[in-house]
Structures are given as structure tokens and as C-alpha cells.
Structure 1
Amino acid sequence: MPADLFREGDIVFRKGTGLTSQVVLSADKEGAYSHTGILKQLDGKWYVVHAVPDEPDYEGDVDRVKLDPVERFFSSNRASSGAVMRMEIDSVKACHAAQRAFDLYRAHILFDHEYDLNDTTKMYCTELVNHVYLKEGIDLSEGRLTYINFPGFTGDYLMPNDISLNKKLHLIYIF
């Protein structure tokens, strides 16, 4: 992994290997990725801040905003493919977005199983990434939402593809 290319606030995408990822990809037929997060550097090591269900760190762990080493986030048992993308913006704003994401991790924000963009007391992956950039005045989704009509989930949702289509996002790394 070319960690020397990474910068704080870079956005990471992965195509997951689990059932939840398959559901996301079936709902988002245009998308190549099922999950997203944001890069944060701590003590010289790269981590991904992301909100994820069904990836407990220990028995009894709840679905929540997590901080995983980038190698774990992209490990072969979690990702069949992935990408790192960078916004064409002031790097200070990207660093602030990464710090906001890290603060949400430290606040123990739970995963939003309701997928409700109007409630930021809990968050899902794309909601987290878009939210921290919105605080910097940047709407990663550029207003895009995906309409989904699945049993139990009907409505407009923010999908990884809604973010990856941003015209100011540039590919840094792909596998």
C-alpha cells in the first residue's frame, strides 16, 4: 500500500466481501464500492475512520464509528477491491474533516441502522464522510442521493457511488 501517497482527509472506498456489502451493491447498481471512510494519520501510521455494521473488535462490540489501520480496512477478508481518492480542496479543510471524523470515533457514535441523514446522533459510512466535509462547507455528494426500494428500505439514501462521482475527487490509489 503506497502510504507515502496518502494525505489526511483522503476518502477510501472498498468493495466488501460480506452480505451487507452485497446488499449495498445490489441497491446501488451503478456503484463499484459498498463502503467508505476517511484517512487519519496518528503517530505516523494511517488509519481509516468509518461507520460500519457487523465488524466487531471483540465479543459484545456494538456497531459504531471505528478506527482501523488502513491495512485492516483493506484486508482481503474485508475488501475485494478498493480505492483512495482525494478532493481538490485546501489541505487544511481535508485535515479538519479527518479530525472531525476522529472526534466522532472518540465520541463513540453508534452505527445508524435507520440510515437517517437527518439524525447525526448515529451515522452510517457515507453519512459520516459527507457530514465531516459538510462541516468544512463541502458537499461530497453534490446533492446526489440514490432511490432504493428494498423491503424495509424505501427512500433516498446516500450511497458510496453518490460520493465517488464528485467531479473534484481524484484517484490516488486503486487495487
Structure 2
Amino acid sequence: MKKQKYLFLGITFLLSFGLALFVAMSVFPNNPFSKTKKEKTENVAETKLKDGDIIFQTSQSPQCEAVRIATNSKFSHCGIIYNIDGKWFVFEAVQPVKLTPFDEWIQHGKDNKYVVKRLKNADQVLTPIVVQKMQNYSQQFDGKQYDAYFEWTDTKIYCSELVWKIYKNAAGIELSKLRELKDFNLTDARVQKILKERYGNNIPLEEKVIAPVDLADSDLLKTIIDNY
């Protein structure tokens, strides 16, 4: 009799627990506990974004490491944020230049860390018409090759050059002054290795360049998200 009693109680408990779980899932179909902390963070972040925001991260390739060292910055990659058909993308110069979903772009950075910056007067300057001009101008670069030589041409293009040119030529805004290659720290062995691979003995020291840190330090921008 005792065994039957315990068996009956066990079955009753399981049925009650199952019913409670079913009700909870019916009332709360989007149970917040079913999502990871990372997913919730990204969803909250996306609510803060606006067209034209600029996003920065630390990429992990040897070239990006050399960029970080040469520019004395934690940032080695950047892109411009657009809302396309209700979804957020980062338009970035990689190989090739392309639109990358926002959450996917974040995962490419070291420890998924990133910073988002915005024009201080974006509400007045980045009107729907201007944003459309920026997107239209961007299309000419879509699918182009990444510029590993950092040349100031439109034939190939690198990340910070892409963002700078979109703002300059589509919105009429010069985010920062251009520099020359020789202005950066080129003495580190890791930087020297990349330079040697790219240029041999003919390093174009006077080539016009713009680095991610130049954009990140722009007086025209303010920080919207910083999870470093």
C-alpha cells in the first residue's frame, strides 16, 4: 500500500508541475529566462541605434593588430550603421565591402566589445533625405575589394576611409582631418612586418590616410554605447 501511495503522490506532483509549466509558457511565451544575457544586451542596444551611427571594435587579424599598435588605439575596425527594411546592418569595408547584420558584426570583434558614436547634432543634420543620400552613395562601394595598401582611391577601400568618404561626399561633413602614413607609429616590429609584406622597401610615407581612432576621437561625435 505504501508503494502505491508514494507512486500516486509522485504522479500527482509531476502532473501538477507539468500543468504549471504549461500555464507559465502560455502566459509568458517569450520567457525572458529563455534568452541568454548576450541576446538581451544586443536587443537593448539595437533600440538605441540610428541611421548613420558609427561603430568601432577591436578586430583580431594580424593586420588589425598592426593598425591598433600603429595608431595607439584599442580600435582597429569600424563601420557605418544603416537600418534596411527594419533591420540593423553595419556597412563595412572587409573582403569584400558589404552590409553585415548588426549582431553578426559584433561577434567578429574581440570579446564582442564595441563602441557606437553619433554626430552631436545628428537630429538636425542627418535628416531622412541626407541619410538616403548616404545610403545611395554607399552603394558604389558595395562589393568592392578591401584595400590592404591603404591607398586614397575609390578603386579599393578600407574601413575608416569608407566611413569618412560617406560622410564627406554624401553628407558634406568632414569628421576629422586626414593624416599621412608617416604620422603613425611605424617602429614596432609587428607593424614593420606588415609594412614589409605590403610595400617591400617602398613605403608610401606621404599617402593620405584616416584611421579608426581619428574618427573615434572626432570632436563632432558623442558616445551612444560603450561596452568596453
- TM-score class, shorter: 0.7 to 0.9
Unpaired segments of 5 or more residues in structure 1? 53-62
Question: Cα offset for 1:142?
Answer: 3.0
Letter in 2 for 1:138: I
1:23-48, Cα deviation, whole Å (9 max, x unpaired):
1111111x221001000111211000
- Larger C-alpha radius of gyration, 1 or 2? 2
Q: Give matches, 1:145-164, under 5 Å.
A: 147-148=183-184, 149=186, 150=192, 151=195, 152=199, 153-155=203-205, 156=207, 157-164=209-216
Letter in 1 for 2:48: L
- SS at 1:23's partner residue? helix
Unpaired segments of 5 or more residues in structure 2? 1-41, 187-191
Normalized per residue, which structure has more strand? 1
Q: Give matches, 1:117-132, under 5 Å.
A: 117=152, 119-132=153-166
Distance 2:131 2:84 in 1: 15
| Overall identity of the aligned pairs, in % | 26
Structure 1 pair 124/86, CA: closer, same or farther in 2 (3 Å)? Answer: same
Query: So what's the TM-score if we normalise by structure 1?
Result: 0.82
Partner of 1:165: 217
Q: Give matches, 1:18-29, under 5 Å.
A: 18-29=61-72
RMSD over aligned Cα atoms: 2.0
Structure 1 pair 144/165, CA: closer, same or farther in 2 (3 Å)? Answer: farther
1:3 aligns with one of 46, 70, 81: 46
Structure 1 pair 12/71, CA: closer, same or farther in 2 (3 Å)? Answer: same
Letter in 2 for 1:139: E
- SS at 2:52's partner residue? coil
Partner of 1:104: 141
Normalized per residue, which structure has more helix? 2
| Count of residue pairs brought into register by the alignment | 160
Q: Give matches, 1:1-175, under 5 Å.
A: 1=42, 2-29=45-72, 31-52=73-94, 63-75=95-107, 77-80=108-111, 81-88=113-120, 89=122, 90-92=125-127, 93-105=130-142, 108-117=143-152, 119-135=153-169, 136-144=171-179, 147-148=183-184, 149=186, 150=192, 151=195, 152=199, 153-155=203-205, 156=207, 157-175=209-227
